[in-house]
Amino acid sequence: MERKSAPADAEVTILSPEDGASVTSPVTVEFGLEGMEVAEAGSDQENTGHHHLLVDLDELPPMDAPLPSTDQIVHFGGGQTSTELELEPGEHTLQLIMGDSGHVPHEPPVMSEKITVTVE
């Protein structure tokens, strides 16, 4: 599958919570994006995409296919830039990856660092 290109300076980040934070459920997660614009799934504008949140995912999904929608890969095709997650007590990892109009990661992939939070 052909992947859409991403600007070289594109960067997605988890603005909050911070890596290593202790939080309570539901956890509010704020998304940040620079060098691209957020657009709804299906929008084919250049240099746009929408967020996907990887929750407790040990291995990245294939980068050359649409990201599946699962409990661990949460889609934000409406162009959302934040969410509230219900997480069980304990340690959890969170990571963002941008997807194009068809949920396929860009080339190169626009991914945040993986962070770890502890739900009390």
pLDDT one-digit tens code per residue, 78-97: 999 999 999 999 999 999 99
**42 to 48, 60, 101: CA distances (angstroms):** 11, 23, 4
* Residue 14 confidence (pLDDT): 98
* Residue 104 confidence (pLDDT): 97
Quickly state the pLDDT bin for 44 (edges 50, 70, 90).
Answer: confident
Instruction: Kindly give the pairing relationship between strand 37-38 and strand 82-85.
Output: unpaired
pTM metric for this prediction = 0.96
What is the signed CA dihedral for 59, 105, 49, 78, rounded to 10 degrees?
A: -50
* Residue 52 confidence (pLDDT): 98
Q: What three-state secondary structure class fits 72?
A: coil
